[in-house]
Structure 1
Amino acid sequence: MLRNLMMTSALVLVTACGQSDTDNDKAAEADNGLVYVHAGHLVDVEKGRVLDDQMIVIEGERIVDIKPWTEEAALSGVIDWSGYTVMPGMIDGHSHLLGDIQSEDPMAPLEGTRQVDIDMGIINALKTLKAGFTIVIDVGSYRVFTDVDLRDKINAGEISGPRMMVAGAYITVPGGGGEVIGLDAGVEIPGEFRAGVAANEDEVREKVRYLLDGGVDFIKVIATGAVLTVGTDPGEPEFTEAELRAAVEEAAKDGKYVTAHAHGAEGIKMAVRAGVRSIQHGSLADDEALRMMKEHGTWLVADIYNGDYIKEVGTAQGWPEETMRKNDETTETQREVFSKAVKMGVNIAYGTDSGVYPHGDNAKQMAYMVRYGLTPMQAIQSATIWGAQSMSMEADIGSLKAGKFADMIAVSNDVLEDITVLEHVDGVIKGGKLVR
Structure 2
Amino acid sequence: MRRFFSALTLSTLTVVCALPALADNLILTADRMVDVESGEVINQAAVIVRDNKIVAAGKAASLALPSDARILALGDATLMPGLMDMHVHLTSDATRHGYKRLSVSLPRSTITGVKHARQTLMAGFTTVRNVGAPGFADVALRDAINAGDIPGPRMFVAGPSLGVTGGHCDNNLLPYEYNDTGEGVADGPWEVRKAVRRNIKYGATVIKFCATGGVLSKGTKVGAQQYTYEEMKALIDEAHLRGLTVATHAHGTSGIKTAIKAGVDSVEHVSLLDDEAIELALENGTYFSMDIYVTEYILNEGAKAGILEESLAKERTVGKTQRANFEKAVKAGVNMVFGSDAGVYPHGDNAKQFARMVKFGMTPMQAIQAATINAAGLLKQQDSLGSLRAGKYADIIAVAGNPLKDMSKMEQVSMVIKDGQLIYAPAM
Distance 1:22 1:325, change over 3 A: closer
TM norm structure 1:
0.90
Q: Measure the CA separation in 1 of the matches of 2:356 and 2:14.
A: 34
Letter in 2 for 1:42: M
Q: 3-state DSSP class of the match of 2:128? A: strand
Aligned to 1:21: 17
Cα shift at 1:74? 5.1
Aligned to 2:339: 351
Native 8 Å contact 1:94 1:354 kept in 2: yes
Aligned to 1:176: 167
Distance 1:258 1:132, change over 3 A: same
Aligned to 1:211: 199
The farther-off stretch of 58-67 and 347-356 is: 58-67
Q: Which has the higher contact order (CA 8 A, sep 6+)?
A: 2
**Quick check: 1:332 aligned with 2:328?**
no
Aligned to 2:4: none
Cα shift at 1:184? 4.8
Q: 3-state DSSP class of the match of 2:344? A: coil
Cα shift at 1:84? 1.4
CA deviation vs aligned residue, 1:168-200 (integer Å, no higher than 9, x gap): 1111001110122122553353xxx73321111
Native 8 Å contact 1:268 1:279 kept in 2: yes
For residue 382 of structure 1, the aligned residue among 363, 370, 374 is: 370
Distance 1:139 1:73, change over 3 A: same
CA deviation vs aligned residue, 1:21-61 (integer Å, no higher than 9, x gap): 356x69xx57xx22221232111010011112222111211
Native 8 Å contact 1:89 1:409 kept in 2: yes
Aligned to 1:49: 40
Q: 3-state DSSP class of the match of 1:106? A: helix
Q: Measure the CA separation in 2 of the matches of 1:351 and 1:21.
A: 25
Letter in 1 for 2:16: S
Q: Which runs of 5+ in 1 are unaligned?
A: 1-16
Aligned to 1:112: 104
Q: Measure the CA separation in 2 of the matches of 1:18 and 1:80.
A: 15
Matches within 5 A, 1:66-85: 66-69=57-60, 72-73=65-66, 77-85=70-78
Native 8 Å contact 1:107 1:183 kept in 2: no
Aligned to 1:3: none
Distance 1:372 1:72, change over 3 A: closer
Native 8 Å contact 1:18 1:160 kept in 2: no
Aligned to 2:54: 63
Q: Measure the CA separation in 1 of the matches of 2:317 and 2:370.
A: 26
Q: Measure the CA separation in 2 of the matches of 1:223 and 1:150.
A: 26
Aligned to 2:79: 86
Distance 1:291 1:40, change over 3 A: same
Q: 3-state DSSP class of the match of 1:21? A: coil
Q: Measure the CA separation in 1 of the matches of 2:121 and 2:388.
A: 17
TM norm structure 2:
0.91
Task: State percent identity of aligned pairs.
Answer: 41
**Quick check: 1:258 aligned with 2:246?**
yes
Native 8 Å contact 1:272 1:292 kept in 2: yes
**Quick check: 1:406 aligned with 2:397?**
no
Q: 3-state DSSP class of the match of 2:405? A: coil
Q: 3-state DSSP class of the match of 1:144? A: helix
CA deviation vs aligned residue, 1:287-335 (integer Å, no higher than 9, x gap): 1111111111111100011111100012445632210110011100001
Native 8 Å contact 2:18 2:148 kept in 1: no
Native 8 Å contact 2:94 2:305 kept in 1: no
Native 8 Å contact 2:32 2:42 kept in 1: yes
Letter in 2 for 1:82: G
Matches within 5 A, 1:91-170: 91-101=84-94, 103-108=96-101, 110-141=102-133, 143-170=134-161
Q: Which runs of 5+ in 2 are unaligned?
A: 1-12
Letter in 1 for 2:135: V
Q: Measure the CA separation in 1 of the matches of 2:18 and 2:128.
A: 24
Distance 1:40 1:103, change over 3 A: same
Distance 1:211 1:18, change over 3 A: farther
Aligned residue pairs total 410
Cα shift at 1:234? 1.1
Aligned to 2:384: 396
Native 8 Å contact 1:406 1:432 kept in 2: yes
